[in-house]
Amino acid sequence: MLKGEKTRRKIIEKAALLFNKKGFDGISMQDVSEATGLEKGSLYTHFSSKEELAKEAMAYASMTSFISSIENLEKLTSPVEKLKLHIRNVLSKPNFPGGCPLTNIAIDADDGNTVMYAMAQESLKHWTSFLKQLIKEAQEMEEIQSSVNPEAFATLIISLLEGACLASRLQRSKKALTVAQQFLTAQIDGYVKE
């Protein structure tokens, strides 16, 4: 990796932590400069604007979080077991510092930030697509009933996981995470073909 690429990567990683913890409006390019130890002018050598940096930083945070959620899925052959492991991973692995990037991006987007809104939409679309594919594979392998709507079930899973993560943070308790995992596991088991 070239020096310029390493510097760009360092900026993205440090900025991702800042944006995810404090939101788009909560940080300035000066904050990123201080976190990276680089002059502001150097930041603008790599990124034309705060919006461009935010977009790449939050894409990095989202992808890092997603990679954690699919850890060890490749070791399983059953799509149903992959779905259950994905849910366990989301609820049990440490999230990206500052919380779930999708939730944080969506909160930023709610303030009318079009850059963050587009990022939130893209992250949600990617996750939904991933889950839909797993559910369809389970149906093709006759593990899940064909009557299950993959998009509706993916939406339910994401909604429950995101809500449980938020409730867990607010309550400073893992109770919501446990309840969500138990409910989704029971739901999946109820859809399994006998």
Provide the pLDDT for residue 1.
Answer: 67
Mean pLDDT of 167-187: 93
Q: Residue 105: CB partners within 8 Å, gap ≥ 6?
A: 58, 62, 116, 119, 120, 123
Q: How far is CA 31 from the centre of its chain?
A: 24
Pick 132 or 24 by higher pLDDT: 132
Among the listed residues 45, 62, 65, 42, the one whose alpha carbon sits nearest the alpha carbon of residue 116:
62
pLDDT in tens, 71-97: 999 999 999 999 999 999 999 887 788
Taking the model in full, what pTM does it have? 0.89
Provide the pLDDT for residue 56.
Answer: 94
Provide the pLDDT for residue 75.
Answer: 97
Mean pLDDT of 1-8: 86
Tally the residues of the chain: 194
pLDDT in tens, 102-156: 888 888 777 778 878 888 899 999 999 999 999 999 999 999 999 999 999 999 9
| Other Cβ atoms closer than 10 A to 70 | 15
Bridge partners for 97 per DSSP: none
What is the fold, at CATH topology level, of the domain defined by 3-191?
Answer: Tetracycline Repressor; domain 2 (1.10.357)
pLDDT in tens, 25-67: 899 999 999 999 999 999 999 999 999 999 999 999 999 999 9
Provide the pLDDT for residue 99.
Answer: 86
- SS3 helix, strand, coil % of the chain, rounded to 5? 75, 0, 25
Among the listed residues 25, 45, 5, the one whose alpha carbon sits nearest the alpha carbon of residue 111:
25
Residue 95 and residue 91: Cα distance in Å, rounded?
9
